[in-house]
Every structure is written in structure tokens, then in C-alpha cells.
A and B are shown apart, each in its own frame.
Chain A
Amino acid sequence: MAKGIWIIVEQRNAQIRKVSLELLSQGRKIADETGEPLVAVIIGHGIEGLATEVTAYGADKVIIIDDDKLSEYTTGSYTSVLNKVIREGEPQAVLLGNTALGKDLAPRLAHRLGVGLASDCTGMEIDATSFLSFIRPIYSGKAFAHLTSNVRPILATIRPNTFPVAEPDASRKAEIVKETATIDSNDLRAILKEVAIAASERPELTEASIIVSGGRGMKGQENFALLEQLADVIGGAVGSSRAAVDAGWRELKFQVGQTGKTVAPTLYIACGISGAIQHLAGMGSAKFIVAINKDPEANIFTVADYGIVGDLFEIVPLLTEEFKKLVG
């Protein structure tokens, strides 16, 4: 009996994260090809209204676990409630986004369920013998591991931007099931006191489809305003190389590379970045790479789809004007 593909839908303040829509969209395709139902699981507080949205993105069934104790993510409580519904529902596969939440929750949940976990996958395909197979970057993208599991459920976290978001279909219908949360004192040994989200009009680096990034060639903190202006015209995020972080020009959370964030945007514009192997590991899976650098020998040009040898201080403001015309 097919028990389905389950997507753990991540929401923040009743806003569904884009990666969850990506997983629902891809989950729908797999559901259609395999005949498995697609189940969306939404955890939080004041989230019942999200059932309509996940239905439009393909869910056949929506499991809602709404409790004021679940309004913010904590490892213990989310692991407990998911462990319970998964044991009862016996899905074939459970997919999460490889977000801060997914990275923290999935290993603990996997271990409580006694199963494996494919972390941070950038590929997922239907497999004739194991239902699904996964591809995940190792050595920060310098190699791939190809994984399957014959233990059920199969758990995987999928990197944001791996799959496109499909058009929602408002005519779809789904069964809605409400489950109650059971949280015991063991789940409350780590308590969330406060969440500080930096106010930003720009998308989160790991979810952004366009990233404008700066390195040593930016020459100073103040010059990043040029990149911010360019990013804002095209709805991009602003990243940086390790050199710019080590110089104190940018905060650590904006660092792209082997010891920073790994990103997979549609477009990555590298400005004044030499292209060290550690940086390429963090952004090498971008669909298109633009490099602007004074040094014609810079390593970044070996991976750039479009390379511009020149002065970024001259070119970036012109690009901002040009993109404004194009998208305006």
C-alpha cells in the first residue's frame, strides 16, 4: 500500500519558504509518475490557512499540526511530533529543504526513526529498485555521491534552488487532516528565547535566484553599495568572498564558499573575485556565472559563462543602469 511522498513544509510567520514550494512541485511530478500520493506536513501555529496554498502546489493530503508550543522551531518538539506522524503514516520518502531548520531537524529525526539521511541533495530521481536515488555534492561540490536506501522511510534534505516552482493550480483538492502535538519535558531541554532576523529587503543568500558578489577587488566596505544597487534592480542578494569577510568589509553570513554558504542561483555575478578553489566550491553550481575582474588571468574566468576584463567601478554602475532599462 502506497503511503506516499511527504514534504515537510517550512514556514516562517505563516509564509511558506520557497524551497518547500520547490519540493512540492517536484514531489508532484514524482507522485504522478509513481502513483504515490503527495502529502504536505505543516507544523507551527496559526498555519491552517496554508493548506489551500500547498494544495494548489500539488498536495493530495495535508497534515496540519497546529499548536502554540510549535510557533517557533525547536529541535526537540518538531522531532517528536514528526516522529509520531511519520511512524503512523509510514511514508515511502520524507523530504525537507536543506535550510537551517532542515539541517538541524533531519539528522535527529532520521536517527529517532532509525533510518539513513541523504543530506543537502542537488539531484533526486525515481529509481526502479529503491524508489528514489539522490545525488549530493561532497568535498564542497568537487565530487558527487550517488545514494539509495532500502530502509523506509527514505529521508533527504534538498538544497534550495534545485527544482523549479511549478504554477499553482487553485482547482486542486486535498484531504485535510489535523493532528495534535504531543510534546514531553524531554523536548523542552533546549528552549528558544529569541529570534533575530536581520531586516532586509533582499532575498536570503541560499534561496536567491540572483546573487551579486564582491571580493578583494571591491577595495573597501563602502564600495559594496555599488553591488547592492545592482542587486536591488534585479531582485538579487549580495554575497562576498572570504577575502572581503576577512578584511572586515562584509558580515560572515554573506560569505560564499567552502567555509561559508553554498549557493546555487540562476545567475551569479562575481565582482573583483579572483576565484579561489574554495570560492568556486561554494558557487560552482550556479547556472550562469558572470565575472568582472581587472586581472585577465583571474581563475574566476575559467568558470565564467560571460567574462568581462575591466574596472568593476566603471562597469557595475553601467550595468545597474542597463539592467534597470531591461527589467523596468
Chain B
Amino acid sequence: MNIVVYMKQTFNTEAKIVLDSNGKIEAKGVNLIINPYDEYAIEEGIRLKEKFGGEVTVVSLGESNVQAAMRTAMAMGADKGILISDPALENTDEWARAEILAKALSTIPFDIILAGRIAIDDCAGQIAIRLAEVLNVPSVGSVVKLEVSGTQATVTREIDGGTALVEVSLPAVITTTKGLNDPRYPSVAGIMKSKKKKLDVVTLADLGFSAADIAPKMNVQKHSIPSARKAGQKITGEAAYVAQELGRLLREEAKIL
């Protein structure tokens, strides 16, 4: 089975976000991790390989340091990687990134493409689904259970208030979410092996894109930081009084109840 995992390196969930002098998100000094939702995709890809054979290719977009996250995926069990790295990626939108990824995958056979349902940095959740559209394959999002049988997959997807059971023909794009599996930690042997695995770094020119080809359709005008919430008032006293006072404040001050 040919398995592709689209993954992303993101800030650690603990990271405090500040803007640099140009009004951009400051990346200096931030610990980087594999996007948590992509870990489920990597794990599921490796499990499919263990069950059906084949290989897992991880693909990512970003700066050179993304190789660290990709090596971790390889230490978990992915076989090879393609990193699309180019300074021009910085100003691309989801539309362009999906087009770029599709081009990079055009020479790679795949039965399934797995990706986290959302990245915790841009929180957009668009690229994997757009990728399915470019590649003209079906997609199923927010999957918590995946069973592959021949050229069909039966998946359970999270929807508001419940789940939906979907049958999808392969090849397909599946986005993964918490609950699908427990991602493994890389073993020492895995880490040693990962260093020798093939990781190609390609530029946009290598893929045949010019700057004009990838001009964004959605433009980020600026970034801002929400004004910090301030601690409000403490309600102190006997429990009975506290309950009564909170009720009064919610009714009279917050005008909720």
C-alpha cells in the first residue's frame, strides 16, 4: 500500500505568541513539534503499512528546520520524505499550498493520503481537503476510526453531536483527529534508522512554479494579539452567600440569567 502523510511542524502548544518588529508572528526561541493532529496521521499510516505492507512517504512544506519533525516521523516508522522548502512559501495561501503539494505528489503513487484535520498554528483545516480536490479524489474529514479493505475504506467521522459512518473508495484523502489512535514514541533503533532514510528537499522552481503561479487569493493584511483578559472580581464569603452573589452578578451586571 502506498501511503502518503502530509504533516506540518508547528509551535509547541505551550508557546506564547508575540509579534516581531514587522508585525509577524515571532518564531525565535519557540520549541517546535509535529502538529499534534498530524501525529495521528503518521501513526495511522505506519499501522496501515504494518498491516498491508508498502511504504509511508511524509511530505511537508516549510523551512529547512522542518526536517527535524520529518526525521521524527521517520523514526516512528515512515520510510521517506519530501520537503518543499522555498522562501516564496511564506506568502502563500491555502489554495496555493494545496496546488504545490499536489504537484509534488504527481509522480508518487498513492492509495491513501493522511493528514491531521487541522494544524494548531493557522487553525484553518483547509489544505488536505483542497489537496483531494486538486487530485480529484474523495476526502473524509475528522476521522476517528479507519478500516481499509481492498480498494474501500470504512471510516467513522466526527460530526457535531455524534458520528457519521462513511464508505469511501480509494485512493482518498483522510484527515485524522484525536481518538483515532495513540501515536507511538520513536524507539532508539527507529531514531538510528531514520538518519539514513531518504529526505528530498525541493524548491518551487523544481516543481515548475513561478511567483505569479502562486499569488494568494486570500490576503493576510496583518496579525494582532488579543488584549489580555483581566482578572475580574473575587467573590468571597460563606458558600451560600457566594452562590447568591454570583447569581445576582450574572443577572444584574452580566445580564445573563
Contact = CB atoms under 8 A, between A and B. Distances in A.
A64 to B, nearest CB: 23
A204 B224 contact: no
Contacts of B134: 111
Given A144-B224, A146-B223, A117 B126 contact: yes
27 contacts: A75-B138, A110-B130, A116-B93, A116-B217, A117-B94, A118-B218, A120-B123, A142-B17, A146-B220, A147-B221, A190-B138, A190-B172, A193-B154, A193-B165, A196-B164, A266-B256, A288-B254, A288-B256, A290-B250, A302-B229, A306-B246, A306-B249, A307-B234, A310-B239, A311-B239, A319-B247, A323-B247
Contact of A108 (B133, B163, B251): B133
B95 A110 contact: yes
Given A100-B159, A139-B120, A189-B172, A305 B221 contact: no
Contacts of B19: 143
Contacts of B110: none
A interface, over-half SS: mixed
Contacts of B159: 100-101, 195, 197
Given A100-B159, A108-B132, A147-B221, A315 B243 contact: yes
B interface, over-half SS: mixed
Contacts, number: 259
B160 A111 contact: no
B189 interface: no
B141 A326 contact: no
B100 to A, nearest CB: 13
A301 B231 contact: yes
B60 interface: no
Interface string A116-131: 1111100000000000
Interface stretch (A22-30, A176-184, A253-261): A253-261
B138 A259 contact: no
Given A194-B165, A290-B246, A306-B246, A107 B13 contact: no
B42 to A, nearest CB: 16
B246 A303 contact: no
B225 interface: yes
Contacts of B136: 186
Given A103-B125, A137-B123, A322 B246 contact: yes
B150 interface: no
Interface string A141-169: 11111111111000000000000000000
Interface residues of B, number: 81
A308 B234 contact: yes
Interface in A260-305: 260, 266-267, 277-278, 284, 287-290, 301-305
A154 to B, nearest CB: 8
B233 A306 contact: yes
Given A100-B160, A197-B162, 13 more contacts: A110-B126, A138-B123, A139-B123, A140-B120, A143-B17, A143-B25, A147-B219, A149-B218, A150-B219, A197-B159, A277-B16, A301-B231, A326-B251
B133 A112 contact: yes
A191 B166 contact: yes
Contacts of A259: 13, 36-37, 120, 178
A269 to B, nearest CB: 9
Interface of A: 74-76, 79, 99-101, 103-104, 106-108, 110-112, 114-120, 133, 136-151, 186, 189-198, 200, 204, 206-207, 210, 234, 252-253, 255, 258-260, 266-267, 277-278, 284, 287-290, 301-311, 314-315, 318-319, 321-323, 325-327
Contacts of B158: 100, 253
B224 A143 contact: yes
Nearest to B96: A116
B229 A139 contact: no
A236 B125 CA distance: 28
A260 B11 CA distance: 17
A301 B234 CA distance: 9
B14 interface: yes
